[in-house]
Structure formats: C-alpha cells, structure tokens
DNA sequence: TCTGGGGTCCTAGGACCC
DNA sequence: TCTGGGGTCCTAGGACCC
C-alpha cells in the first residue's frame, strides 16, 4: 500500500502553532506581496472564501474583525515542514516529500492494520511535537491515496486515517468524489468532462481507457489507471530538481533598465545560492519579464530568453553576469514590468561538472568559486550580508508587501522567549 | 489602488540528420 | 513533374500540481 500524509491547512496551522489564540478563528494566509489568499482555516473555508481570492476582495472582513489575516512567512513554514518530514522519516520505510506539506509513504510489505496503527500513532506524535495537524490516506495507488486523504480530512469519524483497501470501498469512494477533485484533473479538464456527463470519479473510470487516451493523452490514461487500482504514477517523480526558479512580482511597475538590473541580479544570486545549497550546477540561465496582465490599458510584453554557459557553474557572479546579458537582450523601453524572474536549468551535480579543453577563464572560475564559498558563510536565508554591487542593498525579497506578517518564531531567540 | 511563487511533464511543430 | 521513412533536438505553449 501507499500512504499519503498531508498537513491540514498547512500555512494556517503553522501560524497557529505559535499563536494559539488563532485556534478556532477564521484565518487566511496571503501570497507574497499580500496578493491573494493561498491558505485558509476550516472556519474561513466555511465563510465561502475561495483559494486564490485577491486580498482586496476580503479586506473588509478583516477591517470588521471577522477574519484574521497573515502575510506568508516561508522561513517559518520551511522549518516546520522539515520537522514534520523528519518525524515521518523516523517512522516509515520510505518518504517521498511531494511538496512543502505532504509526503507519499510507499509501504509495500506492511499489512494494512499495521500501517493504519502506525499512521494513527504518527498523527498524534506530529501534533504533539510540532503542533501541526496531519491526515493520512492509505490505498494501493497514489491517486487513490489522495482520495482517501480527502475523506480522512472531511469526516472526523476517521480520526485522521482513511483506508481504501478493497474494490467495494474504492467504488464507493469514487462515486462520492466529484471529477474536479481528482488529482490530475485540473480547471481545464474538469468542466470539459462535466459537459460530457462525467461528473464523478466513478463516471470517469467507467469510460473506455482507449477513449480517455485519445482525448486526454498519457496523463489522462495514468489517472484512469490509478483510479482503477493500477499503479501508473511511480516514485521516480522525486529526484534532483530539474530547474530552480526565483521570481517575484514587484510592488510597483518598473520600466527603468537600471532598476530591473538590480532585481534580476538579486534573483540570479538567489538561484546561484540555491544551486550551491543542493550541490548542483547549471548550464542554462533563463530570464523572463512580465508586464501587468490585469492592466488592459497598457501594452503587454512577456519576453524570455535563455543564455547557455560553456561550463556548468553555480558561482554568483557568473550566474548574475549571464542573467544580466539575457535581460539586456529582451528588455524593451517603454513597457511597465510587474514581474521578473530567473530560472536555471540543465542542472547537474557539482562534482560532475565537465571542463572545456581551452578554458581561458579557468583561473577566474576558481576565484569565483572561492568567493561564492565566502558569501555562503556570511549569508543566510534571512540576511544577505555580502552581495555584488549590481544587487540591491538589503535582502533580495525586500520591497515586497508583507503588512500582516507574524514574528519569525522559528529563527529568533527573542521571539521564542516571548512565546514562552 | 490591490490580482503569488515554484515546480513538473507532455505535445506540436520546425529544423535538421541520414 | 514526381517528393519516403525514420529519426533527433529544440522551443513554445499548455496543462497540471501545491
């Protein structure tokens, strides 16, 4: 069997773990720049607030005291995620961290009652040790485990653990699952399938698989198999990352190339730092710019381009230089840009970097690597003390709106003492 | 006024190869 | 005039996930 452990309303639960006064209240957590709602407590879900709602549409509720709002605090969520994952690793034979708040737990060879027992104990342990509520779904395929997890969350009678381990339960669960709630069916396919009379997951598996394949391709077929009880999504999903992206929307629109240079340099430096943290190097640096798509009165421009490096690298200066070159090749005067980003791709292991025969820059590369090591010693996630002059003073994420941020509970002694 | 960030994978079409 | 069959690689765009 495969279990899926998923934290309930994760970002909200992280806020509550350090601010117990938020328990039982309607709470939402906002995206960067305080843009839109990305996490909701059960109470705010019950008020009808949808995922992705722009904050200004619910701001009145906050002003009236009917809703509590927090800016997102990814340092805090990352810390709590690591703690939850580490408890899972101590407990299950294998852990595939699928996202910040959920992990697949392949448990072949463990019988169902034992797996259920372990899962119930683990939920209690995670709650006690981290304050985070977790639900577990158990089934033979990952897609069915997702469905089981939905039920575990929805019906308190399961006490956090729901199992689909025979055909009777599987068909019952499929009949109760709206097609749009199925993992792998998104906002494009959901309405289309409903138009064809496919309203539940059960309707979906009752279609001939050939018809699914010709209409939806390999991914549709995989979902169909998984719902039918045949494993089609395997653990290969979790490997070394294939791309690393750092991007932000700006609080205001930017048209000045000098200002864009600083932002892009910041994003590129952050990508280089992430590469070094995981022991990787990249061959390609891609830069993109977006104008504000909501301003229909303004001219739009969404350029992007990729610069290829002769040698895979992860030093700050080389990645930043490449990104600035890319920026200059796509930038056009007269547009107001709202967002920019840097993506590094063609990632390989640091130790596997292949030199080139006539590398005139070899000495420079060694120096840059040494410089990057010094930067890594001085810089942390929350404080960028040593930067290139092309970057902005302060932190790469400065200038984004965070008006409702809670305290850095997991990283500051002062605040931890305050909590105590 | 305000509308996120970070990923993965697949597909179709063009350019090119023999 | 007629204009195959089998590939690879790259890119852009679409679809999905949390």
Examine the pLDDT at A19 and tell me if it is beyond 90: yes
How sure is the predictor about A274, in pLDDT bands with cuts at 50, 70 and 90? Answer: confident
For A329-335, what is the mean pLDDT? 87
Can you give the pLDDT at residue A401?
A: 77
Give the span between the Cα atoms of A188 and A78, in whole angstroms.
Answer: 31
What's the mean pLDDT in A266-291? 89
Q: Which residue has the higher pLDDT, A353 or A288?
A: A288
Interval A327-352 mean pLDDT: 87
> In the predicted model, what is the mean pLDDT of residues A309-332?
89
Non-local CB neighbours of A98 within 8 Å, separated by 6+ positions? A104, A237, A238
Q: CA of A415 vs C1' of C17, distance in Å?
A: 34
Residues A220 and A212: beta-carbon distance below 8 Å: yes
Long-range contacts of A16-19 (CB under 8 A, 24+ apart): A16/A41, A16/A131, A17/A80, A17/A130, A17/A131, A17/A132, A18/A76, A18/A131, A18/A406, A18/A407, A18/A409, A18/A410, A18/A419, A19/A406
From the Cβ of A38, is strand B under 7 Å away?
Answer: yes
**pLDDT, average across residues A355-368:** 77
User: Which tens digit of pLDDT belongs to each residue from A160-169?
Assistant: 999 999 999 9
Q: Which residue is nearest to nucleotide B6 (CA to C1')?
A: A245
- Å between A135 CA and B2 C1'? 35
Tokens linked to A275 = 């590469």
Q: What average pLDDT is seen over chain A?
A: 88
Among protein residues, the one whose C-alpha sits closest to the C1' atom of B2 is: A56
Structure confidence at residue A201 (pLDDT): 95
pLDDT at A381: 66
Give me the CA A416–C1' C3 separation in Å, rounded: 77
Q: How far is the CA of A241 from the C1' of B14 (A)?
A: 29
Residue A410 has pLDDT above 80, yes or no: no
Q: Is the pLDDT of residue A30 over 70?
A: yes
Low-confidence winner among A112-116, A344-348, A354-358 (lowest mean pLDDT) = A354-358
Footprint of strand C on the protein (CB under 7 A): A 98-102, 146, 182-190, 219, 304, 306
Determine the pLDDT at residue A245: 87
Answer whether residue A414 shows pLDDT above 60.
no
Query: Do the beta carbons of residue A29 and residue A38 sit within 8 Å?
Result: yes
Q: What is the dihedral of CA A210, A212, A216, A222, to 10 degrees?
A: -90
Between A299 and A19, the higher pLDDT residue: A19
| pLDDT tens string A173-183 | 999 999 999 99
A59 pLDDT tier (thresholds 50, 70, 90): very high
Cα diameter, chain A: 68
A190 pLDDT exceeds 50?
yes
For residue A75, say whether its CB is under 7 Å from any atom of strand B: no
Say what the pLDDT of residue A417 is.
Answer: 45
Token representation of residue A68: 């509590």
**Considering only CA atoms, which of A47, A42, A7, A2 is closest in space to residue A22?**
A42
pLDDT interval class at A416 (50, 70, 90): very low
Lowest-confidence range among A39-43, A384-388, A399-403? Answer: A399-403
Residue A47 has a pLDDT of: 93
Query: pLDDT: is A382 or A55 the higher one?
Result: A55
Q: Is the CB of A291 under 7 A from strand B?
A: no
Q: State, as a whole number of angstroms, the distance between the CA of A204 and the C1' of C18.
A: 24
Q: Estimate in Å the CA A394 to C1' B10 gap, whole number.
A: 40
pLDDT of residue A41: 95
Mean pLDDT throughout A285-301? Answer: 84
Strand C: positions under 7 A of a protein C-beta atom = 11-12, 14-18
What was the pLDDT predicted at A334? 86
pLDDT of residue A37: 93
- Distance of C1' in B17 from CA in A243, Å: 29
pLDDT of residue A98: 87
Residue A184, CB, strand B, below 7 Å: no
Q: Three-state SS string across A10-73, please? A: HHHHHHHHHCHHHCCCCEEEECHHHCEEEEECHHHHHCCCCCCCEHHHCHHHHHCCCCEEEECC
pLDDT given for residue A380 in this prediction: 72
Task: Round and report the angstrom distance from CA (A143) to C1' (B10).
Answer: 19
Residue A358 has pLDDT above 80, yes or no: no
pLDDT band at A420 (very low <50, low <70, confident <90, very high): very low
Question: Mean of the pLDDT values across residues A44-72?
Answer: 92
Kindly state the percentage of chain A with pLDDT values over 90: 50
Average pLDDT over residues A312-321: 91
Chain B: positions less than 7 Å from a protein CB are 1-11
């Amino acid at each position: 069997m495969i279990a899926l452990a998923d934290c309930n309303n994760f970002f909200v639960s992280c806020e509550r773990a350090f601010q117990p006064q938020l328990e039982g209240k309607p709470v939402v957590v906002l995206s960067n720049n305080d843009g839109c709602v990305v996490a909701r407590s059960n109470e705010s879900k019950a008020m009808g607030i949808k995922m992705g709602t722009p904050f200004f549409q619910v701001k009145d509720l906050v002003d009236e005291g009917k809703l509590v709002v927090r800016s997102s605090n990814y340092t805090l969520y990352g810390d709590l995620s690591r703690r939850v994952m580490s408890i899972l690793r101590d407990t299950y034979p294998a852990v595939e961290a699928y996202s910040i708040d959920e992990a697949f737990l392949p448990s072949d060879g463990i019988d169902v009652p034992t797996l259920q027992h372990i899962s119930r104990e683990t939920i209690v342990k995670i709650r006690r040790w981290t304050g985070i509520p977790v639900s577990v779904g158990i089934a033979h395929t990952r897609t069915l485990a997702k469905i089981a997890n939905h039920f575990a969350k929805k019906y308190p009678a399961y006490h956090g653990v729901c199992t689909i381990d025979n055909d009777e339960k599987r068909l019952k669960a499929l009949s109760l699952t709206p097609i749009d709630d199925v993992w792998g069916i998104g906002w494009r396919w959901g309405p289309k399938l409903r138009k064809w009379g496919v309203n539940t997951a059960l309707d979906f598996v009752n279609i001939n698989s050939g018809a699914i394949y010709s209409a939806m391709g390999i991914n549709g077929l995989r979902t169909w198999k998984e719902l039918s009880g045949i494993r089609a999504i395997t653990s290969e999903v979790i490997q070394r990352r294939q791309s690393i992206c750092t991007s932000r929307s700006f609080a205001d629109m930017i048209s000045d190339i000098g200002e864009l240079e600083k932002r892009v340099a910041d994003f590129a430096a952050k990508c280089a730092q992430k590469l070094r943290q995981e022991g990787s190097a990249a061959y390609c640096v891609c830069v993109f710019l977006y104008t504000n798509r909501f301003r229909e009165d303004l001219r739009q421009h969404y350029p992007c381009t990729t610069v290829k490096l002769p040698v895979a690298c992860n030093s700050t200066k080389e990645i930043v230089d490449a990104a600035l070159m890319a920026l200059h090749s796509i930038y056009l005067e007269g547009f107001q840009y709202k967002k920019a980003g840097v993506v590094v791709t063609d990632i390989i292991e640091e130790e596997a970097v292949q030199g080139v025969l006539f590398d005139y820059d070899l000495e420079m590369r060694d120096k840059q690597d040494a410089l990057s090591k010094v930067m890594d010693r001085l810089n942390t996630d929350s404080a960028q003390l040593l930067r290139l002059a092309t970057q902005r003073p302060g932190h790469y994420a400065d200038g984004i709106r965070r008006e409702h941020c809670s305290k850095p509970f997991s990283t500051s002694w002062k605040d931890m003492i305050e909590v105590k």
